Structure 1
Amino acid sequence: SGEIRVLFSVSDTGTGIPEDKIRDIFQPFVQVDGSMTRGHQGAGLGLAIVRRLVGLMGGNLSLESAPNEGTVVHFVLTLGVVGEGAEEKRHDDIREGEDKGAGLAILLVEDDKINQLSVTGLLEKLGHRPEAVFDGKEALAALERRRFDLVLMDIQLPDMDGIETTRRIRSHDGSVYDPKIPVVALTAHAMAGDRERFLDAGLDDYLAKPVGIEDLKAVLGRFGPTEGEGS
Structure 2
Amino acid sequence: MALARAILQGLDMRVQEAVNGAQAVQAYGQERPDVVLMDMHMPEMDGLDAARRIRALEAARGWARTPIVALTASALPEDGRRCVEAGMDDVLVKPFGPAQLQDLLQRHCCR
Q: Which bracket does the TM-score occupy, shorter chain normalised?
A: 0.7 to 0.9
2:59 counterpart of 1:156: no
CA distance in 2, matches of 1:165, 1:218: 24
2:80 to 185, 192, 195: 195
Partner residue in 2 for 1:128: 13
CA distance in 2, matches of 1:119, 1:225: 15
2:67 counterpart of 1:212: no
Superposed displacement of residue 118, structure 1: 2.0
Asked whether the 8 Å contact 1:144–1:177 carries over to 2, the reply is no
**SS at structure 1 position matched to 2:88:** coil
Superposed displacement of residue 122, structure 1: 0.6
What TM-score, normalized to structure 1? 0.44
More helix by percentage: 2
Partner residue in 2 for 1:222: 107
Where does 1:71-150 land on structure 2 (aligned, <5 Å)?
115=1, 117-150=2-35
**Which letter maps to 1:205?**
D
Partner residue in 1 for 2:69: 184
Partner residue in 1 for 2:50: 165
**Which letter maps to 2:78?**
G
- Change beyond 3 A, Cα 1:210–1:146: same
Give percent identity, aligned residues only.
36
CA distance in 2, matches of 1:163, 1:201: 6
CA distance in 2, matches of 1:146, 1:177: 15
Q: Larger RCO: Structure 1 or Structure 2 (Cα < 8 Å, ≥ 6 residues apart)?
A: 2
* Unmatched runs of 5 consecutive residues or more in structure 1: 1-114, 227-231
- Say which one has the larger Rg: 1
**SS at structure 2 position matched to 1:206:** strand
More strand by percentage: 1
Superposed displacement of residue 172, structure 1: 5.0
**Which letter maps to 1:138?**
Q
Asked whether the 8 Å contact 2:58–2:64 carries over to 1, the reply is no
Superposed displacement of residue 119, structure 1: 1.3
CA distance in 2, matches of 1:164, 1:179: 19
**SS at structure 1 position matched to 2:17:** strand
What TM-score, normalized to structure 2? 0.87
CA distance in 2, matches of 1:175, 1:118: 33
**Which letter maps to 2:105?**
L
* Unmatched runs of 5 consecutive residues or more in structure 2: none
- Change beyond 3 A, Cα 1:172–1:131: closer
Asked whether the 8 Å contact 1:122–1:213 carries over to 2, the reply is yes
**Which letter maps to 1:121?**
A
